[in-house]
Amino acid sequence: MSKQLDFSGRVAIVTGGGTGIGYATALQLAKLGARVAIASRTASELEAAAARIAEDSGSECLAVPTDVKSEDAVINMVRRTVDGFGRVDVLINNAGGTRMGPLETIPTKGWDSIYDLNVRSAYLCTREAGRHMMAQRSGAIVNISSNAGMTGVKGGAHYSSAKAALQMFTTVTAAEWGRYGIRCNCVAAGMIASPRAVEAWKAAGLDPNGMASAIPLKRPGTPEEIANMIVFFASDAASYITGQTVAVNGGPSLSGIPLE
């Protein structure tokens, strides 16, 4: 198993890699031997994250400031990665997010923005990194979805449908590109206590324990727990798994009789 989790000689791109799930994933990949390029919009935050990853892992980490909603920026991100590291073996489409609101108040611009961030960006990154993967006839892509894409969430019609679209994009990518030796899978994250999420909960006066009461494991997850699944999907340990979406969410919340 240790050999199957060895990323030595491989190159990974992680979008949204400066914080939260993306940072945890990039750090794990680097510790397992990968050279990693991390991307997000905030250059100072990204460069600091890359320096920490390199120091903690001993692997090279390249910071590539990128707005993943911009086609030209994504093309540049992949080009800089290949110029710096020579190849692309792993792509983690982690960048995403939303602003919640009732369906009737979501403006067209807001709807389009959420689709651009959560779906279009993954398409652009997959297309550009995929060119190199197809040429080398190998690669692993992991898309990061959400429980919202599986069950929906009120106040997030745009986000829920965008994440559901990302899951279907995963399925079709796997079906079309399997012949090139490329695998594509998806992780649907549940309630995760990332630093930014915790700040948002505090600002809104929300109690994480109360919000997690319906989760069987009775707590939010951590970015590292999501990263564990992402890294597994990207590794040789998942060599015969493709086109799948797996929920990492602390278990199913079911209705029924009260249990002591």
Active site residue 159: yes
Q: How far is CA 141 from CA 76, 111, 129, 181, in A?
A: 19, 26, 9, 11
| Encoded amino acid at 34, one letter | A
Q: Which of 99, 111, 107, 121 is nearest to 41 (CA)?
A: 121
Using alpha carbons only, give the angle 33, 36, 39 rounded to the nearest 5 degrees.
160
Residue with tokens 């990128």: 66
Spell out the residues 6+ positions from residue 117 whose beta carbon is closer than 8 angstroms to its own: 68, 69, 95, 96, 97, 162
**Catalytic residue chosen out of the listed positions 23, 115, 123, 159:** 159
Distance, in Å, from the CA atom of 152 to the CA atom of 154, rounded to the nearest integer, reads 7
Q: Which residues are catalytic?
A: 159
